[in-house]
């Protein structure tokens, strides 16, 4: 299957040389190389590759225009990410085109294979930035002024990569051209691991978001400052992290503090400032609000107790996504044709992971396919899909696209 060759060519791009994971961040050299890989692979298939105003890439099979079926995913990674989150959907989409051609299939509508920029928000903080921009989900001025850890703005980074940041913003042509969008993605937990199913269908995406918390204290000497005289911002942060864990447990939710900046970050100086990011997700909006407001209260109280000033602001929020039931059921029926009766119905899965498909779903009928991940681990080099499941994913996507491109 052509998948293997495509996969092997993409695999080294952005992978750390010490055997760890991927560092493919928007507009960096690794990202530019990955975009060049996609452009070449699509052009080699005779697809017409275009860059939209926000830097997302679209490779067209058939003339670009209305009535199109779209598929694709992203090529950027989280810090030290796995190989599959994003790239599996892009490689599978190109391989599905090959598979459809090998079957002698002639599409009745155009097909667009896409790569969205900055899905992870690993460099500039806001996830699904490419799809948010295209659907009017973020103000272009705010996007232009987002900064990375070194203070480089989105505008400067995009310009350095040869694209015009002044042109970014809502792209009504995208929603008008696409009749349907289908994203294939590696499953990111154990939802399929212990089932006989190599491929499942997305049901919903939990509401989720990211909040920045700043704890401002007072820098001082670690050896001479009496404990009672300190305003140490690490202490309220520690209380806040434990509170987030307890709140997540009581609301059957997820709350994570995985990123923090300590200023000045010296062993023997009490910090003047700690910034930390809360990632929170829950099955419904009420539970999510309860967790986030509970964390805010805990942070405020602990900060007061320690003489520290606390602020907290949302950096991005994504509402509950309930994928189109008719489309979801149609995909499950198509997949079901390859499933033995004894294996039971194709699983329809909720997830706590965010996707561009979730952002698009408010504007275009959207669906997702998940490919089994036997490790159940994601956002880590241990993320995995077995070779035979990768191929099953390509066949499933080709089946689904053949159905959608025929009507």
Binding site for ligand GLV (CB under 6 A): 120, 127, 353-354
Rg (alpha carbons) of the chain, rounded to whole number? 22
Q: How far is the CB of 117 from Mn ion (least distance, A)?
A: 13
Residues 6+ apart with CB under 8 A from 65: 110, 177
Q: How far is the CB of 364 from ligand GLV (least distance, A)?
A: 20
Residue number with CB closer to ligand GLV (203 or 233): 203
Using CB atoms, what's the residue nearest to Mn ion?
85
Residue number with CB closer to Mn ion (21 or 86): 86
Closest CA to 136 of 169, 103, 105, 102: 169
Report what 399 binds from ligand GLV, Mn ion, none; CB cut-off 5-8 Å by kind.
Answer: none
Residue number with CB closer to ligand GLV (127 or 393): 127
Q: Is the separation of the CB atoms in 235 and 328 below 8 Å?
A: no
What are the backbone angles phi and psi of residue 212, rounded to the nearest 5°? -95, 130
Taking contact as CB under 5 A, which single stretch among the options 83-91, 202-210, 224-232, 362-370 is the one that binds Mn ion? 83-91
Q: How far is the CB of 74 from Mn ion (least distance, A)?
A: 6
Residue number with CB closer to ligand GLV (131 or 240): 131
Does residue 87 bind Mn ion (CB under 5 A)? Answer: no
Closest CA to 366 of 114, 176, 180: 180
Report what 165 binds from Mn ion, ligand GLV, none; CB cut-off 5-8 Å by kind.
Answer: none
Residue number with CB closer to ligand GLV (60 or 181): 181
Q: How far is the CB of 384 from ligand GLV (least distance, A)?
A: 16
Residue number with CB closer to Mn ion (15 or 355): 355
Give, for 73, the enclosing helix (H) or strand (E): strand 68-74
Closest CA to 158 of 52, 269, 271: 52
Backbone CA torsion sign across 59, 62, 66, 67: negative
Closest CA to 358 of 346, 369, 366: 366
Residues 6+ apart with CB under 8 A from 4: 387
Q: How far is the CB of 206 from ligand GLV (least distance, A)?
A: 9
> Tokens in use for 371?
């490919």
Using CB atoms, what's the residue nearest to ligand GLV?
354
Q: How far is CA 210 from CA 13, 59, 241, 332, 357, in A?
A: 28, 32, 14, 32, 18
What are the backbone angles phi and psi of residue 179, rounded to the nearest 5°? -85, -25
Report what 86 binds from Mn ion, ligand GLV, none; CB cut-off 5-8 Å by kind.
Answer: Mn ion
Question: Of the candidates 76, 85, 232, 389, which one interacts with Mn ion according to CB under 5 A?
Answer: 85
Closest CA to 332 of 346, 342, 322, 349: 346
| Binding residues for Mn ion, total number by CB under 5 A | 4
Q: How far is the CB of 41 from ligand GLV (least distance, A)?
A: 23
Q: How far is the CB of 296 from ligand GLV (least distance, A)?
A: 21
Does residue 86 bind Mn ion (CB under 5 A)? Answer: yes
How many other β-carbons are positioned within 10 Å of the β-carbon of residue 184? 26
Residue number with CB closer to ligand GLV (304 or 382): 382
Per CB under 5 A, contacts with Mn ion among 338-377 are 354-355
Q: How far is the CB of 328 from Mn ion (least distance, A)?
A: 19
Could you give the dihedral angle defined by the CA atoms of residues 129, 353, 70 and 4, in that order, rounded to the nearest 10 degrees?
Answer: 110
Q: Is the separation of the CB atoms in 114 and 72 below 8 Å?
A: yes
Residue number with CB closer to ligand GLV (127 or 347): 127
Binding-site ranges for Mn ion (CB under 5 A): 85-86, 354-355
């Amino acid at each position: 299957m052509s998948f293997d060759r495509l996969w092997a060519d993409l695999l080294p791009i952005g992978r750390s040389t010490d055997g760890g994971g991927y560092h493919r961040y928007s507009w960096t050299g690794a990202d530019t190389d990955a975009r060049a890989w996609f452009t070449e692979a699509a052009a080699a298939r005779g697809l017409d590759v275009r860059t939209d105003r926000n830097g997302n890439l679209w490779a067209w099979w058939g003339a670009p225009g209305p009535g199109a079926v779209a598929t694709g995913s992203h090529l950027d990674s989280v810090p030290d990410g796995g190989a599959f989150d994003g790239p599996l959907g892009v490689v599978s989409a190109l391989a599905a085109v090959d598979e459809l051609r090998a079957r002698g299939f002639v599409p009745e509508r155009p097909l667009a294979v896409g790569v969205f920029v900055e899905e992870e928000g690993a460099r500039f903080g806001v996830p699904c930035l490419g799809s948010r921009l295209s659907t009017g989900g973020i103000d272009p001025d705010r996007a232009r002024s987002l900064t990375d850890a070194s203070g480089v703005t989105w505008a400067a980074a995009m310009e350095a990569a040869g694209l015009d940041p002044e042109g970014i913003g809502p792209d009504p042509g995208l929603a008008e051209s696409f009749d349907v969008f289908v994203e294939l993605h590696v499953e990111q937990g154990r939802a399929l691991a212990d089932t006989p199913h190599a491929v499942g269908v997305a049901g919903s995406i939990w509401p989720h978001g990211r909040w920045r918390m700043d704890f401002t204290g007072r820098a001082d000497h670690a050896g001479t400052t009496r404990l009672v005289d300190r305003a140490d911002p690490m202490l309220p942060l520690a209380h806040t992290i434990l509170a987030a864990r307890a709140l997540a447990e009581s609301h059957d939710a997820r709350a994570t503090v995985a990123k923090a900046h300590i200023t000045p970050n010296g062993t023997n100086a009490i910090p003047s400032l700690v910034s930390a990011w809360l990632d929170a997700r829950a099955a419904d909006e009420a539970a999510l609000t309860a967790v986030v407001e509970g964390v805010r209260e805990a942070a405020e109280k602990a900060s007061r107790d320690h003489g520290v000033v606390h602020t907290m602001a949302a950096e991005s929020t994504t509402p509950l996504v309930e994928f189109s039931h008719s489309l979801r059921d149609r995909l499950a029926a198509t997949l079901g044709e390859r499933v033995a009766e004894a294996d039971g119905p194709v699983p329809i899965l909720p997830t706590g992971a965010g996707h561009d498909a979730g952002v698009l779903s408010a504007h275009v009928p959207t669906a997702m396919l998940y490919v089994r991940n036997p490790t159940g681990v994601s956002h880590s080099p241990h993320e995995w899909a077995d070779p035979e499941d990768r191929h099953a994913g390509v066949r499933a996507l080709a089946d689904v696209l053949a159905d959608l491109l025929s009507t």
